Amino acid sequence: MTFVITQTCCNDTACVAACPVGCIHPTADSPDHGTTEMLYIDPQSCIDCGACVDVCPVGAIHPGDQLPDSQVRYADINADYFRASSGDRLPIEPVGARRAAPVQQRVARVAVVGAGPSGLYVAEELMRRGIEVSMLDRLPTPFGLVRAGVAPDHPGTKGITDSFGWTMARPELHTYLNVELGSDIQHEDLAAAHHAVVYTVGASVDRPLGIPGEQLAGSHGAGDFVGWYNGHPDFSQLTFDLSHPRAVVVGNGNVALDIARVLVAGPEVLSRTDIADHALEALRRSNVREVVVLGRRGPSEAAFTASELLALGYLDGVSVTVDPRDLSAPRSDERSAAYGSRLKERILSEFGRPVRGSDRRIVLQFFGSPVELEGADRVQGLRVARNRLEPDPHGALVAVPTGEVESIETGLVLASTGFRGTPLAGLPFDDARGVVPSEGGRVVADPALRGVYVSGWIKRGPSGNIGTNKSCAEETVRNLLDDLDAGRLATPTTSRSAFETRLSERQPAWVGRRGWQSIDEHELAAGRPGGRPRVKVVDKDRLLRLT
């Protein structure tokens, strides 16, 4: 028996560090690090010690002989990775060879703006060195996209909040929630009270389709829909017309698959999750029975991960179909060589068998670009241009219209085409990429910005899964510490208590650690009678009344 990494792998590599024999790959020093969809255990070298299980923050590692049906294939997927890859494996180290390096302690104060996973990883890295952290967020709740982005039917992934418990409970952490930078507090206030300011504000704006009809009722960005079903206070008042039997999700990323699953999952599944109550009620009444997930390129180029694709095949009462024409289309040689791409093609070729008794289905349609939303005052259809793939001057395969156009009848179109960051006052902004440009997290455009850093999606764009933000945070903090040690950071001119006094004048309703704990306890208790992880409070005023 060996251990196996399964669907919820978050890539944070805590297991790699814990493994005494180095059998989990890619390791941080491998060329594959950060590019594979998940981590894998080599069954040939695993010694069954279970050290990785204890440290996995999302419960993704299981004994190979105890895998539930939906995860059984991960035994082969783990083993195949080592058969398929070559050259990235390091020599197996003897048991006990890895020793944690001593961590040098420092005296400093750093402000981290954004209390999502990126901010929490940055805070953790800093506090391990004794550095005091002020963590701010504009919402009264922490955890960013783990609370407001991860789909409710992925409780394992949401479990990563438990691993942030150490960070949230540290005496070095000062939490200031419900604080909006720019109105409640200014960058200058943070800079005056801290050695450095790290922005980890994410990328929250939907990339538009830019086609006629996009403004019609029934056309929405994925961020609106995801925020709505996850009970984000900014989106809880939205309504979505679920009266038509077909919805179309444009885009081929993991968010598109999240949305498709939520639309067809059925209330019996969703009612056991922490989905917002208003969304659960609307989905109970939903007439949507088919979701078309539209990709502009082919299966080999799809942005979704093999693990999320595989999981679609295990949805109760849901068929998944793919047009056989799409599977036989020419493939990108480079992408098909990647393990994840070949795995996706294999999984896709297995879809198509209707699930007995299913009245809901997900249709994966490739090689189609949206060109126009049809309808007089609301969406009635989506015109789609059929594409073929051609290499661009850099060798990447791009979608080129064949001239063939078809119409898909639908009442709801959700554009899940990725996100972009928004400019931050006083900071440079790369409009094409939607990020704050930096060198390894240092914002260097202007000497006046000495001591300003970024991490997470606002630094590198919306890519990777939650654990990817850990290595991103390590890089930013490494550079920040270099600057601190070299005396390049200005000493704060105001104290923490002066900062808190100013904050309380500007925003008396800021929420600290205890306030969040009251919200958390309330939500957890509300979930218990119905066997749900929690019932979210989705209204900002109500959240504040609970603190």
Residues within the interface to ligand NAP (CB under 6 A): 207, 209, 250-256, 258, 295-297, 301, 303, 308, 369, 416-419, 462-465
- In the complex, least distance from residue 118 CB atom to ligand NAP, rounded to whole angstroms: 12
Q: Which is nearer to ligand NAP, 416 or 476 (CB)?
A: 416
**Rounded distance, CA 459 to CA 468, Å?**
12
Query: What number of other Cβ atoms are within 10 A of residue 167's Cβ?
Result: 23
- In the complex, least distance from residue 150 CB atom to ligand NAP, rounded to whole angstroms: 7
- In the complex, least distance from residue 390 CB atom to ligand NAP, rounded to whole angstroms: 13
Q: Which is nearer to ligand NAP, 142 or 149 (CB)?
A: 149
Q: Which is nearer to ligand NAP, 336 or 507 (CB)?
A: 336
**Rounded distance, CA 208 to CA 225, Å?**
14
> For 341, what's the count of Cα atoms within 13 Å in the CB-facing half-sphere?
16
- In the complex, least distance from residue 230 CB atom to ligand NAP, rounded to whole angstroms: 12
Q: Which is nearer to ligand NAP, 411 or 462 (CB)?
A: 462
Q: Which is nearer to ligand NAP, 362 or 484 (CB)?
A: 362
- In the complex, least distance from residue 414 CB atom to ligand NAP, rounded to whole angstroms: 11
Return the residue nearest ligand NAP (CB atom). Answer: 253
H helices within 1-61, ranges in order?
14-18, 51-55
**Rounded distance, CA 319 to CA 321, Å?**
7
Q: Which is nearer to ligand NAP, 340 or 451 (CB)?
A: 340
Q: Which is nearer to ligand NAP, 451 or 464 (CB)?
A: 464
Place of tokens 């539209």: 294
Q: Is the CB of residue 285 less than 8 Å from the CB of residue 375?
A: no
CA distances for 409 relative to 60, 246, 375, 383, 386, angstroms: 39, 7, 10, 9, 16
Residue 125 backbone dihedrals phi, psi, to 5 degrees = -60, -40
Q: Which is nearer to ligand NAP, 127 or 385 (CB)?
A: 385
Residue 4 has which token pair? 């196996």
The CA-based angle 39-41-42, given to 5 degrees, is 130
**Rounded distance, CA 478 to CA 496, Å?**
24
Q: Which is nearer to ligand NAP, 119 or 492 (CB)?
A: 119
Residue 417's contacts (CB-CB under 8 Å, 6 or more residues apart) are 206, 207, 208, 209, 222, 250, 251
- In the complex, least distance from residue 152 CB atom to ligand NAP, rounded to whole angstroms: 12
- In the complex, least distance from residue 304 CB atom to ligand NAP, rounded to whole angstroms: 7
DSSP 158: H
Q: 44, 40, 52: which is closest to 85 by C-alpha?
A: 40
Residue 21 backbone dihedrals phi, psi, to 5 degrees = -115, 5
**Rounded distance, CA 67 to CA 126, Å?**
37
- In the complex, least distance from residue 530 CB atom to ligand NAP, rounded to whole angstroms: 25
- In the complex, least distance from residue 245 CB atom to ligand NAP, rounded to whole angstroms: 23
Q: Which is nearer to ligand NAP, 132 or 258 (CB)?
A: 258
Place of tokens 């939906």: 70
- In the complex, least distance from residue 254 CB atom to ligand NAP, rounded to whole angstroms: 3
Residue 334 backbone dihedrals phi, psi, to 5 degrees = -65, -50
